Amino acid sequence: MITTKTKKAIERLREQLRSGVQGPKMGQQTRMEPKAAVLWQAALILEGRRGIITRSQTKLDKASGTKTGYVNRGLTLSSANEAAFIVGRGFTTCPNATASCRVACVGSKTGQGALPSSKIARIGRTLAMLADSERFNALLDYEIESERMRCAVFGFKLAFRFNVASDLWALANECAERNPLVTFYDYSAVPAAFDSPSGVRRVYSRKNGKASAARALGMLERGVGVSVVFAVSKKDVLPLQWNGVPVIDGDINDLWFLRAPKSGAFVVGLRVKGSNKQKQQAIDSGFAVAA
């Protein structure tokens, strides 16, 4: 999936770091040519110089505290095809992404996620994972377990969202299996993600287009939760039901499973986000539906 040339480039940078070179700071990386910046980021991650898990992100932060009893963390990899320029044409971390959701992706196109430093961090993590998955997973698991133990000291549980901006559901399942004491949850637009039991609490992510809309209704019939973006502002109340299924507010915080019904289908309602242009595009395409 990643070229030998790219792997060797990352390894050369890792050798420099092991020899005593400090490596660039993020401020310096944002002024570099994009490929050089993300190669350095991958090398810094694999040598343990940069952290992997996301500890500060608006929606994740909302869920942390005494009200939920959880601390919420995640893994923010590259979204959709934003790493294709260095990994290779056709590469994507979101196999069922649509043009509309790529434009308004809350993990990469809105808020802090749109910053150059955030993009470098996302792509760098993805490169590190592809270049040396064994080392990457070991570092990731170490960070997750350290965070879980720190949370336990203060009486909190750890909730972890593997795919903050991506949809690599199989890797999320593997990570959950390696970390059974952590509560994993996710969103996925890939039907196969719901075909076998896993340690991840997951809802189907409805996109625009007839196929995704049909899958969303099919998931509800199966009793699976579905996330739906509604064309309402952040101050508006979400509908109580959608297609006869109860709607819970997914914008209160990201831990929708704490508010979901104990059984049966439900909808995680999300308000359309982004700039006015992004919001309108989402509505016009059908990605955001009328309340």
Which residues contact residue 2 at a Cβ distance below 8 angstroms, ignoring those fewer than 6 apart? 87, 88, 127, 130, 131
Dihedrals phi, psi of 76, to nearest 5 degrees: -105, 95
pLDDT, tens digit (0-9, with 9 covering 90-100), for 187-209: 999 999 999 889 999 999 999 88
pLDDT, tens digit (0-9, with 9 covering 90-100), for 64-101: 888 899 999 999 999 999 999 999 989 999 998 877 66
Q: Where are the domains of the chain?
A: 4-289
pLDDT higher than 60, residue 4: yes
The predicted structure's pLDDT at residue 29: 97
The mean-pLDDT minimum among 17-26, 87-96, 144-153 falls in 87-96
**Strand ranges for 133-215 from DSSP E:** 157-161, 183-188, 200-205
What integer is the mean pLDDT of 227-246?
92
CB contact at 8 A, 225 and 283 = no
- Mean pLDDT score across all residues of the chain: 92
Q: How far apart are the first and last CA of the chain?
A: 41
- CA 37: distance to chain centroid? 21
Tokens of 148: 């879980």
CB contact at 8 A, 273 and 110 = yes
pLDDT, tens digit (0-9, with 9 covering 90-100), for 105-148: 655 555 555 689 999 999 999 999 999 999 999 999 999 999 99
Which residues contact residue 252 at a Cβ distance below 8 angstroms, ignoring those fewer than 6 apart? 62, 259
The pLDDT-based confidence of 210 (bands split at 50, 70, 90) is confident
Q: Which 3 state secondary structure label does DSSP give 167?
A: coil
CB contact at 8 A, 250 and 205 = no
- Cα–Cα distance for residue pair 232/283, rounded to 1 Å: 10
Dihedrals phi, psi of 257, to nearest 5 degrees: -65, -20
The predicted structure's pLDDT at residue 112: 59
pLDDT, tens digit (0-9, with 9 covering 90-100), for 36-53: 999 999 999 999 999 999
Tokens of 183: 């509560």
- Cα–Cα distance for residue pair 175/181, rounded to 1 Å: 11
Tokens of 59: 């929606």
- Cα–Cα distance for residue pair 100/282, rounded to 1 Å: 6
The pLDDT-based confidence of 1 (bands split at 50, 70, 90) is confident
The predicted structure's pLDDT at residue 110: 54
